[in-house]
Amino acid sequence: MAKILEKRSLTPVTKLFRVEAPLVAAAARPGQFVIVRVREGGERIPLTIADYDRDNGTLTIVVQEVGTTTRHMGALEVGDDILDLVGPLGMALEIPAEGHVVGIGGGFGAAALLCLMRELSARGDRTTIIIGAREEGLLILIDELAEICDNLELCTDDGSAGFKGFVTERLAQLIDGDGPGIPDSVVAIGPMPMMRAVTETTRDAGIPTLVSLDPLMIDGTGMCGGCRVTVNNEVKFACVDGPFFDAHQVDFEEAVRRNKMYVRQEQESKERAECRSLAVGQD
């Protein structure tokens, strides 16, 4: 069990939790993830470790309430326990070449850049973070991210903050020399369509790009094989071989399709949970 020490609403559907998990915090490296289960009968879902504090033995994780489990999690408060939390899982991010690293966070994926870009900055890399959302109010962790990189670039679809347009459009400008410098490597974390678009943006320029894949998982230790993805025509298990893969080698079409395997069941489960919470409200 992991006790919740802090909870912040970053957007109406995005919650940040700081939880007590000393063993995981001590072992965590940037880019790794945990698997949580929030109630009896609940699913096991992977969540990227946004940040960790070894001294205080805490982990920071950010959750977007999109399905049954994330909603249950979003309803937890300070002092509550996360029923099960295991990790750190997956391989830590490795960016070999020093230089100008651009981290791109779409939606709540921005949170995952926290410990990752801090470590790269500390290593001496020049760091740029590009985060994007529909509108200003949905951009998260702006202050925290600004602190840990050399340049923070904001993008909004409606132009309410920063660049008006998608993160990929801003990235393309950087590649064209319009911005804080041409990237030597790119790391993208966020929704699959965004990571896919980033991949296409850097492909022709030949800029090494890593994406953090989040396929469906159960155990997270290589036991079930549910998270298999095809990278460079080889089948990999994202839980143990990933979550980071060479973006230009990833079979995104397959990854997107596999992630939609349970769309109908996810909808059914969510509606049921909503009905239940309505029924509870009427009592």
Q: Is 215 exposed, middle or buried (0-12, 13-18, 19+ CB in 10 A)?
A: buried
Q: Output 80 or 266, the one with its CB closest to another protein.
A: 266
CB of 177 to another protein, least distance (A): 39
Considering beta carbons, is residue 37 or 196 the nearer one to another protein? 37
Burial 221-243 (b: 16+ CB within 10 A, else e): eeeeebbbbbbeeeebbbbebbb
Least distance in Å: CB of 108 to another protein?
Answer: 20
Nearer to another protein, 97 or 256 (CB): 256
- Which residues are near another protein by CB under 8 A? 23-24, 27, 37, 41-44, 68-69, 83-89, 218-219, 221-226, 228, 230, 235, 240, 254, 257-258, 260-262, 265-266, 268-269, 272
CB of 28 to another protein, least distance (A): 10
CB of 280 to another protein, least distance (A): 16
CB closer to another protein, 27 vs 97: 27
Residue with smaller CB distance to another protein, 90 or 132: 90
Residue type, 60: T
User: What is the rounded CA–CA span in Å between residue 89 and residue 137?
Assistant: 32
Amino acid identity, residue 215? P
User: Do 57 and 26 contact (CB within 8 A), yes or no?
Assistant: yes
Q: CA nearest 21: which of 89, 100, 71? A: 89
Q: How far is the CB of 104 from another protein (least distance, A)?
A: 27
Q: Strands, DSSP E only, in the chain?
A: 2-11, 14-20, 33-37, 45-53, 58-64, 81-82, 84-89, 100-106, 126-133, 151-156, 163-164, 185-189, 209-212, 228-231, 234-237, 244-246
Taking the least distance from each CB to another protein, the nearer of 146 and 235 is: 235
Least distance (Å) from another protein to the CB of residue 256?
10
